[in-house]
């Protein structure tokens, strides 16, 4: 008795069943991946702003002059609706800085530059899917040159579409900068 030679591989029916099962598994997994991605975006944004604050503190000590960490919602460009950074300018409000200045090709007064430093501003493209709020209401923190502390306050980093989800960066009057995972523990956050 002769056996017909079978070719190795999948039959069309086996391939269709496999594709359907993979589709079902993917539809179950995608929503949970979105949640993980949003949590990672929040963590990255909070860590980026914390690092910017720490850089500002070290630059204040290195340059031996008080610097200001600002959050600004003032911009002459739609590409940078808000920004955060460190400046040596004597500003009284974070919104005194024009975020468009930090775009490479934009024209601005340059009021919020930091001469002699590698510090740069943080722009929305750097922090995807988040909004940033600050307390005190002037969106400005003074970073002292002699490391004798700082102005106390909070920076809230929340999801674009859900302000109840976020992180809080706390700045103590002693200059300690910490990230709090529970947004509800920060009184100034929305």
Q: What is the pLDDT of residues 161-190, one digit of tens each?
A: 877 788 888 888 887 889 988 777 676 666
- What span, in angstroms and rounded, lies between the C-alpha atoms of 176 and 95? 24
Q: What pLDDT, on a 0 to 100 scale, did the predictor assign at position 4?
A: 64
SS3 assignment, position 67: strand
- Which of 105, 106, 108, 66 is CA-nearest to residue 87? 66
Q: What pLDDT, on a 0 to 100 scale, did the predictor assign at position 58?
A: 87
Q: What pLDDT, on a 0 to 100 scale, did the predictor assign at position 149?
A: 61
In a domain, 174, yes or no: yes
pTM of structure: 0.73
Q: Is the pLDDT of residue 89 over 60?
A: yes
Q: What pLDDT, on a 0 to 100 scale, did the predictor assign at position 173?
A: 80
pLDDT bracket for residue 109 (50, 70, 90): very low
In a domain, 18, yes or no: no
pLDDT bracket for residue 107 (50, 70, 90): very low
pLDDT digits (tens, 9 = 90+) for 58-76: 888 888 888 888 887 766 6
Q: Which two tokens stand for residue 44?
A: 């990255």
In a domain, 24, yes or no: no
Q: What is the CA radius of gyration of the chain?
A: 24
- What span, in angstroms and rounded, lies between the C-alpha atoms of 30 and 72? 35
Q: How many domains does the chain have?
A: 1
Q: What pLDDT, on a 0 to 100 scale, did the predictor assign at position 185?
A: 65
| Structural domain of 99 | 38-185
Q: What percent of the chain shows pLDDT beyond 90? A: 6
In a domain, 159, yes or no: yes
In a domain, 13, yes or no: no
Mean pLDDT over the full length of the chain: 77
What is the separation, in whole angstroms, between the first and last Cα of the chain?
80
Between these two residues, 122 and 52, which has the higher pLDDT value? Answer: 52
Q: What pLDDT, on a 0 to 100 scale, did the predictor assign at position 3?
A: 63
Q: What pLDDT, on a 0 to 100 scale, did the predictor assign at position 76?
A: 60
Looking at residue 94, which CATH number applies to its domain?
3.55.40.10
Residue 177, number of CB atoms within 10 A of its CB: 20
In a domain, 33, yes or no: no
The string over 107-146, giving b where at least 16 C-beta atoms fall within 10 Å of a residue's C-beta and e elsewhere, is: ebeeebbbeebebebbbbebbebbbbbbbeebbbbebbbe
């Amino acid at each position: 008795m002769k056996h017909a030679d079978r070719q190795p591989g999948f039959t069309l029916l086996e391939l269709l069943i496999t594709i359907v099962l993979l589709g079902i598994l993917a539809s179950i997994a995608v929503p949970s991946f979105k949640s993980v991605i949003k949590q990672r975006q929040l963590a990255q944004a909070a860590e980026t702003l914390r690092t910017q604050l720490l850089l500002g503190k070290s630059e204040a000590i290195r340059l031996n002059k008080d610097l200001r960490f600002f959050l600004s919602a003032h911009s002459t460009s739609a590409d940078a609706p808000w920004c955060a950074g460190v400046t040596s300018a004597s500003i009284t409000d974070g919104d005194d800085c024009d975020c468009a200045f930090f775009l490479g090709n934009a024209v601005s007064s340059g009021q919020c530059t930091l001469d002699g430093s590698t510090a740069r501003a943080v722009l929305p493209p750097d922090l995807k899917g988040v909004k940033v709020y600050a307390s005190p209401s002037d969106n400005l923190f003074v970073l002292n040159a002699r490391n004798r502390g700082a102005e106390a306050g909070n920076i809230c980093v929340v999801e674009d579409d859900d302000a109840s989800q976020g992180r809080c960066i706390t700045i103590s009057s002693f200059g300690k900068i910490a990230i709090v995972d529970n947004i509800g523990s920060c009184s100034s956050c929305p």
